[in-house]
A and B are shown apart, each in its own frame.
Chain A
Amino acid sequence: MDPLIEAFGLTKAFPVSRTWRQMLRAERPRLKAVDGIDLTIRRGDSIGLVGESGSGKTTVGRLLLKLTSITSGQLTYRGDHLDRMKGARLRGFRQQAQLVFQNPFDALNPRFNIRRIVAEPLVNLGVPRAEHETRTADSLRLVGLAEPQRYLDRLPHQLSGGQLQRIVLARALVVGPEFLVADEPVSMLDVSVRAGILNLMRDLKERLSLTSFTISHDLTLVRYICSRTLVMYLGRIIEQGPTEEIIARPAHPYTKALIAAVPRPDVDQPRDALPISGAIGSAATPPSGCRLRHRCPYAFARCASEEPPLIEVAPGHTAACHLHIA
């Protein structure tokens, strides 16, 4: 199938504040939050992006939705370059691609009622007023709020966290998008409510044949929604493959750490020690060679001198680690 989205060498750099010494030497340090990633998203794919805080996940999501500009590299949507998209094409894209925010409490204007909040994207896209009421109500039903009239006149603070997250979803879905980016869609919710939202997202993906891109630091959640997963570390994709395969046979030491770190409800499960140590550090000063090497228990000389490329470790499963190259 044709790719919906393709990226080559996608890079986003932010300026960072300079020290006096750097100013004197006219150095302009930059932080590459996303550093040369390649990506193919086909229609109907459900892709997960996992990694620690600061690894660059949100920045990737914002790039995919053209909410921030590309520093270098290429990004296409149905073959059109996103950075050159304008006019009717851009309006079409704004309808087709939607974002589900991380925190429902921040994402919604506290003074607007639910009717106005959910209809807002329709207003922005110039959809005729007459259609708003039905489309808003349909969207609420779609996310499992069976009696829309009960919610439309309420304010955000009059709803529970789970209901609010459904509103955030309804708002993203009201314009009938084909591509959905969800940034930590359930991290602010109670476990009891999370389950409902994860089930809903799974179900919507099927029913609406959505293409989805879900961001989270927790593989446990990504697994419910995504058939393929990308693992990100300091601006780079370091492993990718089918989600279940990555969980069962992680190839990169970092992915192993993400899996070992996940808390589990069972009391006497085997508790693997965390295989990596220390903290992620800043993308402004990434280490030479493999970016994980200071934290990796397996690092050897080559890890400091050469950056490992992504190579295939199993069909459709790639990892960037020298242990798999030898």
Chain B
Amino acid sequence: MGTLLEVKGLSVSYRRGGVAVRAVDAVDLDVPAGAMLGLVGESGCGKSTLARALMGVLPGNASIDGGRVALDGEDLTELTPAKRRQRLWRELSFVPQTSMNALDPVYRLRDQMREVLCERGGLPTKAADERAVALFRSVGLDPVRLTDFPHQFSGGMRQRAAIAMALALNPKLVIADEPVTALDVIVQRQVLDTIRRLGRDLGLSAIIVTHDISVVTYLCGLTAVMYAGRIVEQGTTEALTRRPTHPYTMGLMNASPDLHEPVETLVPIEGAPPDLADPPKGCRFAPRCPLALAACRESDPPPVVVEPGHSAACFRAAEAGALREAARKASTWTR
């Protein structure tokens, strides 16, 4: 299968009190048709900014500084904003970080579905209502509830409704920003199972933004790890979690608890991601990286292919095997 979404050198900045904050910095990313890609990283690393840039729904103080975003070979960044908006829902759709933002509190779900299906999709009302029923069923919601207002739904139901809406016009790609973060474990699992089934049955292509590696291993065949505005490692989820090559990925794996493993002291990554208004020189993870060398603080490590389809931006990528051993020890991470 070919590449559905191809992102090359994409950079996005926010203007904040006279300074530019480069929240997404020269990002390269490919999503093949039919694949789900997990985008993971800590809070403030630029995941939502990247997601919004792909959708073309950045806030007013943000600008795209360069790069291209091609969907099925067509560069979206060259389209006029009006043309770009037309693509929304039909080709690309979005489940935002708080699903309440996706749903308008003063309209019944049916009316919100009609707005997408009739106004954007050009369906007549009757066909739209039929489609809304089918969509609700496909995400495990009772179609009777289409006449409800969003506040009558539980958090999990709202999340499903937001997903149903994103699927309304059979988009080529769905981008979901933290689709399960606010939910309890049971509802979270039900929503993840819904997305998984849609992936299997409809061959849905999606980017799933999350800070939780466990969500990615459950849903996504591919993973990209983001740190301080950059993609620091990407590959199949299998390769990346079995053979993490960037120390940041190793740190994320260490810090993720597994209920079925013996309780050990968890290993945190000390410190916090840098202020993107003034990022450190060299590798942006170096100030927190226990494996950093002097060279890491001098220049940016370029991405290195470590095996087919798996790359990492770390000067020590070639030594990853030995570093993984060291990274597993708690003493490596505590200073």
Residues of the B chain whose Cβ atoms lie less than 8 Å from the Cβ of A279: 154, 156-157, 187
A266 within 8 Å of B (CB atoms):
yes
Q: Which of A242-295 contact B (CB under 8 A)?
A: 244, 247, 257-269, 271, 274, 276, 279
**Chain A residue contacts of B183, Cβ below 8 A:** 53
- Known A263-B218, A274-B190; contact A196-B268, beta-carbon cutoff 8 A: yes
- Could you tell me if B268 and A53 are in contact, using CB atoms closer than 8 angstroms? no
8 Å CB contact of A262 from B43, B185, B187: B185
Beta-carbon contacts under 8 Å, B221-259 to A: 237-238, 241-242, 251-259
- Residues of B with C-beta under 8 A to A221: 257
Q: Given A217-B184, A257-B186 in contact, is the A264-B217 Cβ separation under 8 Å? A: yes
Given A161-B43, A162-B272, A190-B42, verify A269-B257 contact (CB < 8 Å).
no
Q: How far is the CA of A22 from the CA of B198 in the complex (A)?
A: 43
Known A194-B255, A199-B265, A269-B260; contact A53-B193, beta-carbon cutoff 8 A: no
The answer for the CA separation of A192 and B272 in the assembled complex, in Å, is 9
Question: What interface size band does chain A fall in?
Answer: 35 or more
Measured between beta carbons, the chain B residues less than 8 angstroms from A53 are 154-155, 183-184, 187
Contact of A274 among B156, B186, B272 (CB under 8 A): B186
Partner of A224, one of B238, B241, B255, B257: B257
State whether the Cβ of B211 lies closer than 8 Å to any Cβ in chain A: yes
Residues of chain B contacted by A42 (CB below 8 angstroms) = none
With A219-B259, A265-B256 in contact, do A192 and B42 touch (Cβ < 8 Å)? yes
Q: Is A17 an interface residue (CB 8 A)?
A: no
Task: Enumerate A136-192 residues with CB–CB distance to B below 8 Å.
Answer: 160-163, 190-192
Q: Is A193 an interface residue (CB 8 A)?
A: yes
Number of A-B residue pairs having CB atoms within 8 Å of each other in the complex: 123
The answer, yes or no, to whether B263 is at the interface (CB within 8 Å) is yes
Which of A52, A163, A257, A267 makes the CB contact (< 8 A) with B238?
A267
A195 touches B217 (CB 8 A): no
Query: In the assembled complex, which residues on chain B have CB atoms less than 8 Å from the CB atom of A163?
Result: 272
Across-interface contacts of B157 in A (CB, < 8 A): 279
A263 touching B184, Cβ below 8 Å: no
Q: Is B175 an interface residue (CB 8 A)?
A: no
A213 CB, nearest partner CB in chain B, Å: 19
Chain B residues, CB < 8 A from A38: none
Q: With A195-B266, A195-B268, A265-B217 given, is the CB distance from A223 to B189 under 8 Å?
A: no
Which B residues lie within 8 Å of A307 (CB)? none
Residues A266 and B268 in contact, CB atoms below 8 Å apart: no
Q: Do A264 and B258 touch (CB < 8 A)?
A: yes
A83 interfacial by beta-carbon distance below 8 Å: no
**Which residues from chain A contact B267 at a C-beta distance below 8 Å?**
195
The answer to whether residues A52 and B251 also contact, given A195-B268, A223-B263, A263-B189 and a CB cut-off of 8 A, is no
A79 and B270 alpha carbons, distance in the complex (Å): 43
Do A220 and B266 have beta carbons less than 8 Å apart? Answer: no
Kindly report which residue of chain B lies nearest to residue A281, judged by CB atoms. Answer: B154
Given pairs A264-B214, A265-B241, 7 additional interface contacts (CB within 8 A)? A53-B155, A54-B154, A193-B268, A195-B267, A265-B257, A267-B217, A267-B237
Chain A interfacial positions (CB closer than 8 Å to B): 52-54, 160-163, 190-196, 198-199, 202, 217-221, 223-224, 244, 247, 257-269, 271, 274, 276, 279
Residue pairs across A and B with Cβ atoms less than 8 A apart, 24 shown, are A160-B272, A161-B43, A191-B256, A192-B251, A194-B255, A194-B266, A194-B268, A195-B267, A218-B184, A219-B185, A223-B257, A260-B189, A261-B186, A263-B214, A264-B217, A264-B258, A264-B260, A265-B217, A265-B256, A265-B257, A266-B241, A266-B258, A267-B242, A269-B260
